[in-house]
């Protein structure tokens, strides 16, 4: 008897939509649960080399919480490649300007660093407020 292996077409046909309310949830705990669902590890048909995950919609991203003094101490860095062009921005400033970016970056860091991980990240939809345009997909609430 062989272990069943999911095929890409089968996995795409069984994708579900989930919605998560990020209000007052810790950033890391939210990101780890979302990464698990995006990669498909919550399903019995999980196959490491096939994207078996589901779509995840995160709403109220602007109200996600961090513990301790991370709002001031946590920094996000970017570099263009030119000398002296390192930029850093604190969590407190980034959540005001781009409320979806801290969640996207946290989830991205928990996914594989290859083509498969980039495919998984495309199924993540993050919105700063409580509205989202995915009502037609009938997303189910995901417990975090």
Q: Residue 37 sits in a domain of what CATH number?
A: 3.90.1180.10
Whether 10 is covered by a domain: the verdict is no
CA–CA gap between residue 76 and residue 101 (Å, rounded): 10
DSSP secondary structure code for residue 70 in this structure: H
What is the arithmetic mean of pLDDT over 72-95?
97
User: Is 56 inside a domain boundary?
Assistant: yes
Work out how many domains the chain is built from and give that number. 1
The confidence score (pLDDT) of residue 33 equals 98
Query: Quick one: average pLDDT of 73-96?
Result: 97
pLDDT at 1: 78
Evaluate whether residue 104 is within a structural domain. Answer: yes
pLDDT for the residue 3:
85
What is the DSSP annotation of 21-47? E-TT-BHHHHHHHHHHHHHTTTSTT--
**Does residue 58 form part of some domain?**
yes
At residue 72 the predicted structure's pLDDT band, cuts being 50, 70 and 90, is very high
- pLDDT score, position 50: 95
pLDDT greater than 90 at residue 2: no
Domain assignment present for residue 86? The answer is no
77 domain-assigned: no
pLDDT on residue 54: 98
What is the mean predicted confidence (pLDDT) over 123-136? 96
d(CA 132, CA 107): 19
pTM for this entry: 0.93
Question: Is position 93 within any domain?
Answer: no
Q: What pLDDT, on the 0 to 100 scale, is given for residue 24?
A: 96
Residue 27 sits in which domain range?
15-66+98-130
Can you tell me the distance from the alpha carbon of 5 to that of 48, in angstroms, rounded to the nearest whole number? 9
Q: Is 23 within the bounds of a domain? A: yes
């Amino acid at each position: 008897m062989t272990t069943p292996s999911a095929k890409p077409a089968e996995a795409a046909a069984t994708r579900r939509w989930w919605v998560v309310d990020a209000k007052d949830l810790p950033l890391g705990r939210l990101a780890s649960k979302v990464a698990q669902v995006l990669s498909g590890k919550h399903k019995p048909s999980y196959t490491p080399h096939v994207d078996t995950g589901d779509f995840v919609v995160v709403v109220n991203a602007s109200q996600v919480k961090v513990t301790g003094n991370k709002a001031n101490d946590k920094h996000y860095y970017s570099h263009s490649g030119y000398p002296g062009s390192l930029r850093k921005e604190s969590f407190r400033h980034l959540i005001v300007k781009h409320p979806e970016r801290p969640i996207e970056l946290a989830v991205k860091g928990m996914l594989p660093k290859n083509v498969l991980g980039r495919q998984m990240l495309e199924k993540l939809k993050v919105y700063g407020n409580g509205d989202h345009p995915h009502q037609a997909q009938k997303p189910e609430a995901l417990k975090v």
